[in-house]
């Protein structure tokens, strides 16, 4: 069974159709890309998967669970994490605290225990959380900046921090929304290596939205192309980059001619 199965996913904003009849079978361990022009519906698909929006129609089945109608925090606890196209860090908190916040879905004590400090579970869980978060910061090259405010990080490192925060919830499925946006060529090459490494080391399944074709064509095994909310092509990178409909959607009909 696919780890993620989407059938007939459709979403309207009032009279505007954002996504129409989106279908996907995602096998565990795959790394796939979703591309398309601005406004094609890519981020809307992520928002539907993660419970930010409730779909107008269709079903989303993750690891046997129907996600439609579930709240974002419930979906996180099932094993789905994401990053955002626009950074959503807590910029007035430290780098370490940004990652610690994402561990709340994995805490092993109750609110009552936390409030009254009952037993040892709170202390042990907090110690374990700190160690795991520091390990993630080490992986991301941020351990020496654990006590910095997130706002003090350069943009490229803020992107890494957001990935670390997503990994802190121990996901099985990671959704990356334009992780290379705003990066220079050297940072993009490092990011490609990082995504492939964390996929192997953490046993992740990954869906990637990206405008940087170097990233998409370089690391994705399969690509879906959206235009005006509809899937216009799907296949391996070599097939997608030579597809006339894809070229037309990105560059205009004249480029195809």
Residue 60: in which H helix or E strand, if any?
strand 57-62
Q: What are phi and psi of 240, to 5 degrees?
A: -65, -45
Separation of alpha carbons 76 and 49, rounded Å? 11
**Nearest Cα residue to 22 out of 246, 232, 213, 194:** 232
What is the per-residue pLDDT across 174-204, written as a single tens digit (0 to 9) for each? Answer: 999 999 998 899 999 999 999 999 999 999 9
Q: What are phi and psi of 102, to 5 degrees?
A: -70, -10
Confidence band for 114, pLDDT divided at 50, 70 and 90 = low
What is the per-residue pLDDT across 64-82, written as a single tens digit (0 to 9) for each? Answer: 999 999 999 999 999 999 9
Quick one: how many helices (H) and strands (E) in the chain? 11, 10
Sheet (strand 230-235) strand order? 80-82, 173-177, 205-209, 31-35, 222-227, 230-235
What pLDDT shows up at residue 254? 42
% of the chain with per-residue pLDDT over 70: 90
Q: For the stretch 244-253, what's the b/e string if a residue is b when 16 or more beta carbons lie within 10 angstroms of its beta carbon?
A: eebebbeeee
Identify whether the C-beta of residue 257 lies closer than 8 Å to the C-beta of residue 244. no
Identify whether the C-beta of residue 51 lies closer than 8 Å to the C-beta of residue 75. yes
Separation of alpha carbons 138 and 16, rounded Å? 44
What pLDDT shows up at residue 256? 41
What is the per-residue pLDDT across 227-256, written as a single tens digit (0 to 9) for each? Answer: 999 999 999 999 998 999 998 887 554 444
pTM of the predicted model over 0.85: yes
């Amino acid at each position: 069974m696919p780890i993620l199965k989407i059938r007939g996913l459709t979403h309207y904003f009032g009279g505007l159709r954002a996504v129409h009849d989106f279908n996907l079978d995602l096998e565990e361990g795959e790394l796939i890309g979703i591309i398309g022009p601005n406004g094609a519906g890519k981020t809307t698909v992520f928002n539907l998967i993660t419970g930010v929006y409730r779909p107008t129609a269709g079903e989303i089945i993750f690891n046997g669970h129907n996600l439609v109608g579930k709240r974002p925090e419930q979906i996180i606890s099932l094993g789905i994490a994401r990053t955002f196209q626009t950074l959503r860090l807590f910029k007035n908190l430290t780098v370490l605290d940004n990652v610690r916040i994402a561990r709340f879905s994995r805490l092993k004590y109750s609110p009552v225990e936390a409030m009254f400090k009952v037993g040892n579970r709170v202390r042990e869980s907090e110690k374990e959380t700190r160690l795991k978060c520091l390990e993630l910061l080490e992986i991301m090259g941020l351990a020496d900046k654990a006590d910095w405010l997130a706002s003090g990080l350069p943009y490229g490192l803020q992107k890494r921090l957001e990935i670390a925060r997503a990994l802190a919830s121990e996901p099985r499925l990671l959704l990356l929304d334009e992780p290379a946006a705003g990066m220079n060529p050297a940072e993009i090459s490092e990011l490609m290596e990082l995504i492939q490494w964390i996929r192997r080391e953490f046993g992740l399944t990954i869906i990637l939205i990206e405008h940087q074709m170097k990233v998409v064509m370089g690391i994705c095994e399969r690509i879906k192309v959206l235009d005006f909310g509809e899937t216009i092509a799907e296949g391996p990178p070599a097939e997608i980059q030579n597809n006339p409909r894809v070229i037309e959607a990105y560059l205009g009909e004249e480029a195809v001619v």
